[in-house]
């Protein structure tokens, strides 16, 4: 590691820590903000997520090497972690830390974008089903039943088979389109419970269109559970992407993603365990962070009486 990546790395760490403290100061003003920051795993989760996001965004600065470079396929392959290669090198002599940083762009990006797709579809369908009721509701909810009957990874495997080398954009779309079922159920339930409230009747009475009632009045009230389910879903999508990539159906080489990196290392597990270990550990840490943040958000939004 030369000076530049070391400085960039320290910078990313300081930035992640600093932003958390800034957020903590701001959050002090509201009860739910204080409840969130009382959740210690979640605070660490935010730090970890910020760190990997900053590192991925500043990848050219943070990564000491070109992630695709194979400087010495014979002399430098599978070298254990050292100062020059902090996490070692893989079978193609590429630097694992550099690939991890660049892979973060793919893994985090796919997770976030696919969740955005899933939430958009899920919220729309759930809101329409809950608000329209009748046969539209029944039809959409039966569709959800069917969607939930096939494990998501099977659905993805079968869909992915239409492509020989699946483009990243399609992968994001497929991950999103197989992940909206539970969200739509949740939003439907929220919409149903809010539909009969006086403020909705009031909005309708002054002539607001159904679309306006949904977007301006119902959805803002249902935002908290939607946010929680979105945050939890990012981790879940990242695990699915990693799994698909591990099987060879997800992100296609030479693009590095954390899942493909684990798969690449499987062949030399006994020889060079670090090639699989660090990418997998990174997935675990990041997914854990999303889960912790999701848990804390749920508690922060929905304060239940102190149990035990």
Partner 1 sequence: MGGVWLIRRIAAAAAIVFAVVSITFVAIHLAPGSPFLPPPDRPLDTAVVARLNRQFGLDQPIRVQYVRYLKNLAHGNLGYAFSRGQTVRAALATTIPDTLLLAGTALSLDLGLGLILGVVLAARARRATDVILSNLTLFIYSVPAFWLGLVLVFVFADWLHWFPGGFTNTPGLYENLPFFGQLGDRLHHLALPALTLGLVGAAGTARYQRAALLETLGREFVRTARAKGVRERRVILVHALRNSLLPLITLAGLSLPFLLTGSVLIESVFSWPGMGRMATDAVLARDHALVSGIAMVASAMVVTGSLVADVLYAAADPRIRERAT
95 three-state secondary structure: strand
Helix-then-strand count for the chain, H and E: 15, 0
Looking at the Cβ atoms of 218 and 286, the one nearer to partner 1 is: 286
Specify the length of the chain in residues. Answer: 308
Shortest Å distance, C-beta 245 to partner 1: 10
Q: Scanning residues 268 to 297, which ones bind partner 1 (CB under 8 A)?
A: 269-270, 273, 276-277, 280-281, 283-285, 287-288, 290-292
CB atoms within 10 A of CB 14: 12
- Tokens matching residue 289: 């962070």
Under the binding rule (CB under 8 A), the answer on residue 308 touching partner 1 is: yes
CA distance linking residue 88 with residue 265, whole number of Å: 12
Looking at the Cβ atoms of 220 and 305, the one nearer to partner 1 is: 305
Shortest Å distance, C-beta 233 to partner 1: 13
Shortest Å distance, C-beta 276 to partner 1: 5
What does the per-residue mask of binding to partner 1 show for 137-166, with x meaning CB under 8 A?
Answer: -----x--xx-xxxxxxx--xx-xxx----
- Tokens matching residue 245: 């990539």
What does the per-residue mask of binding to partner 1 show for 236-265, with x meaning CB under 8 A?
Answer: ---x--xx--xx-x---------x--x--x
CA distance linking residue 308 with residue 306, whole number of Å: 7
Shortest Å distance, C-beta 207 to partner 1: 40
Residue 70, CB-side half-sphere exposure with 13 Å CA sphere: 8
DSSP 8-state code for residue 54: H
- Judged on CB neighbours under 10 Å (0-12, 13-18, 19+), 18 is exposed
Return residues touching partner 1 (CB under 8 A): 41, 142, 145-146, 148-154, 157-158, 160-162, 235, 239, 242-243, 246-247, 249, 259, 262, 265-266, 269-270, 273, 276-277, 280-281, 283-285, 287-288, 290-292, 305-308
């Amino acid at each position: 590691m030369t000076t530049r990546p070391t400085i960039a790395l320290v910078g990313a760490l300081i930035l992640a820590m600093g932003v958390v403290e800034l957020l903590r100061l701001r959050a002090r003003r509201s009860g739910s903000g204080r409840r969130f920051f009382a959740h210690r795993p979640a605070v660490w989760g935010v730090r970890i997520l910020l760190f990997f996001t900053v590192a991925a965004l500043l990848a050219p600065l943070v990564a000491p090497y070109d992630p695709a470079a194979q400087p010495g396929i014979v002399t430098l392959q599978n070298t254990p972690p050292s100062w020059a290669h902090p996490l070692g090198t893989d079978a193609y002599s590429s630097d694992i830390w550099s690939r991890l940083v660049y892979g973060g762009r793919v893994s985090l990006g796919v997770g976030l974008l696919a969740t955005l797709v899933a939430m958009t579809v899920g919220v729309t369908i759930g809101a329409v089903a809950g608000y329209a009721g009748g046969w539209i509701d029944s039809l959409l909810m039966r569709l959800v039943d069917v969607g939930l009957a096939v494990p998501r990874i099977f659905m993805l495997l079968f869909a992915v088979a239409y492509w020989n080398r699946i483009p990243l954009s399609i992968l994001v779309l497929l991950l999103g389109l197989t992940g909206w079922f539970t969200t739509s159920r949740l939003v439907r339930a929220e919409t149903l419970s809010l539909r009969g409230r006086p403020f909705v009747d009031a909005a309708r009475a002054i002539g607001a269109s159904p679309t306006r009632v949904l977007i301006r009045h119902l959805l803002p009230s249902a935002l908290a559970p939607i946010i929680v389910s979105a945050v939890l879903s990012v981790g879940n999508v990242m695990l699915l992407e990693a799994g698909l990539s591990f099987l060879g159906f997800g992100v296609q080489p030479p693009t590095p993603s954390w899942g493909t990196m684990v798969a690449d290392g499987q062949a030399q597990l006994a020889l060079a365990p670090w090639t699989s270990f660090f990418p997998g550990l990174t997935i675990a840490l990041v997914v854990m962070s999303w889960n912790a943040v999701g848990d804390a958000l749920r508690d922060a939004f929905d304060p239940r009486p102190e149990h035990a």
